[in-house]
């Protein structure tokens, strides 16, 4: 990544991330009807120190399509709520059984399993409540709800997780691995860009370019995730490393080897940037984020 793009991403993140966190905080339930411990567990999972990549993708996509980030903020929050729910549930003893997430004890370690399940359930529901309350034409709201439901549902996020839980089938290869990750990781990357574009009333050619970008960046993100599990530092990542090997998971370094995995991630990031080529101005943050995906250490 050139120095300029790196600086741009740092400045973008410094400017936007506090706004995202304030909007997430404001979206949490305040009424007496929400039990205090449930609200605390939701707050803990949602406002934990993650990277906020998905909300930033929503806002960057909206801006790239000449929309405003303020308009897209509810959609940005909705995707992060689904992401936070998926992490809380993924960490449960019945799934990955993790003690550490985002540098802190996992939600169920702090609040107990039952409350962590409920916090995840409530965040998933709150995502759709947040989208439904968005200040946008009814057709845009309906399209956003449908897109997020599809991405989070049985054929995408939950389906990918189910295949992962079942473990690799005999003879599973690179195509199977990519199919799992396109759903498990790629689904939320894809819908982040789609929601930003929907809110900004993007042209079909812009939707198509952003879909190409998201497919490439989502897969590159996952390859790097697998590499970090082998080579990364647990204290920087804020989670346990070496899990994939311990759990006998099918991974990119396991199938391709480390060097070929890195080369594949590099090619995918080039493809992602190429997808933005005919897009017009305003795509620099998306270009910078693609570079970050490749070079990240957390």
Footprint of ligand GRG (CB under 6 A): 50-51, 53, 86-87, 89-90, 102, 157-158, 161, 184-185, 222, 225
Rank residues 45 and 67 by Cβ distance to ligand GRG and give the closer one: 45
Instruction: Tell me the closest approach of the beta carbon of residue 278 to ligand GRG, in angstroms.
Output: 28
Least distance from ligand GRG to the Cβ atom of residue 87, Å: 5
Select from 54, 24, 52 the least CA-distant residue to 39. 24
* Least Å from the CB of residue 82 to ligand GRG: 9
Report, in Å, the least distance between residue 107 CB and ligand GRG. Answer: 12
Between residues 27 and 53, which has the closer beta carbon with respect to ligand GRG? Answer: 53
Return the number of the residue (182 or 184) whose C-beta is nearest ligand GRG: 184
Name the residue nearer to ligand GRG (CB basis): 156 or 283: 156
Residues with Cβ < 8 Å from 50, sequence gap 6 or more? Answer: 83, 84, 87, 102
Burial class of residue 176 (count of CB atoms within 10 Å of its CB; 0-12, 13-18, 19+): middle
Residue nearest to ligand GRG (CB): 50
| Closer residue to ligand GRG (CB): 102 or 194 | 102
Shortest distance, CB of residue 259 to ligand GRG, whole angstroms?
21
In angstroms, give the least distance from the CB of 137 to ligand GRG.
30
The residue among 94 and 139 lying less far from ligand GRG, judged by its C-beta, is 94
Query: What is the smallest separation between the CB atom of 7 and ligand GRG, expressed in angstroms?
Result: 21
Cβ count within 10 A of residue 280: 12
Comparing C-alpha atoms, which of 260, 268, 261 is closest to residue 215? 268
Cβ closest to ligand GRG, residue 185 vs residue 206: 185
């Amino acid at each position: 990544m050139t120095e300029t793009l790196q600086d741009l991403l740092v400045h973008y993140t410094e400017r936007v991330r506090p706004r995202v966190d304030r909007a997430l905080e404001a979206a949490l339930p305040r009424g007496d009807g929400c039990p205090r411990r449930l609200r605390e567990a939701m707050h803990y999972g949602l406002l934990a120190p993650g990277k906020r990549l998905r909300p930033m993708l929503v806002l960057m996509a909206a801006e790239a399509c000449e929309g405003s980030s303020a308009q897209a903020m509810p959609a940005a929050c909705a995707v992060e709520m689904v992401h936070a729910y998926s992490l809380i549930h993924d960490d449960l003893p019945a799934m990955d059984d993790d003690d550490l997430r985002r540098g802190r004890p996992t939600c169920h370690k702090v609040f107990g399993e039952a409350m962590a399940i409920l916090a995840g359930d409530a965040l998933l529901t709150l995502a759709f409540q947040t989208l439904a309350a968005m200040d946008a034409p009814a057709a845009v709201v309906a399209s956003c709800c449908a897109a997020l439901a599809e991405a989070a549902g049985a054929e995408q996020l939950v389906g990918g997780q189910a295949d992962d839980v079942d473990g690799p089938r005999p003879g599973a290869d690179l195509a199977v691995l990519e199919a799992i990750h396109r759903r498990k990781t790629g689904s939320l990357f894809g819908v982040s860009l789609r929601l930003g574009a929907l809110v900004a009333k993007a042209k079909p050619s812009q939707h198509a370019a952003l879909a190409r970008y998201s497919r490439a960046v989502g897969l590159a993100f996952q390859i790097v995730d697998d590499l970090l599990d082998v080579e990364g530092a647990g204290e920087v990542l804020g989670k346990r490393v070496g899990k994939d090997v311990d759990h006998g998971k099918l991974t990119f370094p396991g199938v391709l080897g480390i060097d070929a995995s890195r080369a594949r991630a590099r090619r995918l990031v080039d493809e992602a940037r190429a997808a933005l080529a005919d897009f017009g101005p305003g795509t620099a943050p998306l270009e910078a984020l693609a570079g970050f995906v490749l070079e990240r250490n957390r």
